[in-house]
Amino acid sequence: MTFNSPSESRFAAASRFMTAQTWWIASELVRRYPHLLMTRVTAEDDGPVVLLHDEQDGMRIQFDLERGIRFVVLGEAVNIGWRRIVNSDSSHEIVKMIEFATGLQAPRVTPNTTPRALVYRLISSFLTSVVNDPNEWNVVPATMSTDGTDDQSAGQFLLLFPSTQAAVAAYTAQTHTQLPNGGTRLFHQPFWALTRDLEAVAILDIAGVIHTREGAVRLMPIFKEAGGQMSATTACVLGKFQP
């Protein structure tokens, strides 16, 4: 199933626009469905792919810069191409399209923003604000290993921000905690690195914390003080990087 004609399946646009749009759509879905979370992987054929999924990875929506948004419904692959996305009347239209196609029940009352959703929304807000910045901005996983050491493949992002070490230790302890049934917890990488020209300027923890060179700051009090406005929250914690 496709929501665009074959001639529209590929759409060339600057990756910064599509990355910002990916984060807006995905973070809006997490805001509406707090059980969802986001991860990023590198696929052999598709390059960097952002995945929106539930804790057990039973439901998955894929965003990639080549094909747009893809997911499977009742065994059938569904694709929403980038041309369809950027030509929509609003991004909310795409969110509703995904809700309908996947069977997600639109909440009658939007849930309160969770710390995890707030982090994703902050990333989305910031990426949108720097679309026209001459620097290259990106968000990539700042991976940790379960023994508490930073993953070398991530460029040692976490080691650049000492305030992350307490959080790393806490997450490591959680991964070693057995569940009542004797099993272990399914671990999802909790940290994202905000990079400018490949250099990390901040680490975002999905527990609702931002780590900068100055230390760790909890986001929820700032968000509430800003009256729930993402633009004001973003300016407060990342304003010095905005154009």
Both structure tokens of 70: 């893809």
- The residue-averaged pLDDT of 112-124 equals 98
- The residue-averaged pLDDT of 107-128 equals 95
DSSP state of 111: P
Tens-digit pLDDT profile for residues 24-42:
999 999 999 999 999 999 8
Q: How confident is residue 173, by pLDDT bands cut at 50, 70 and 90? A: confident
Rounded percentage of the chain residues whose pLDDT exceeds 70: 86
Would you kindly state where each structural domain of the chain is located, as residue ranges?
6-102, 115-241
- Between 11 and 110, the more confident residue is 110
pLDDT at residue 10, rounded to an integer? 56
Tens-digit pLDDT profile for residues 181-215:
655 567 889 999 999 999 999 999 999 999 999 99
Amino acid at 102: T
Are the C-beta atoms of residues 144 and 172 closer than 8 Å to each other? Answer: yes
pLDDT at residue 1, rounded to an integer? 59
Distances (CA, A) of 163 to 2, 121, 216: 45, 22, 6
Helix-strand-coil split of the chain, %, nearest 5? 40, 25, 35
pTM of this structure: 0.89
Separation of alpha carbons 107 and 5, rounded Å: 31
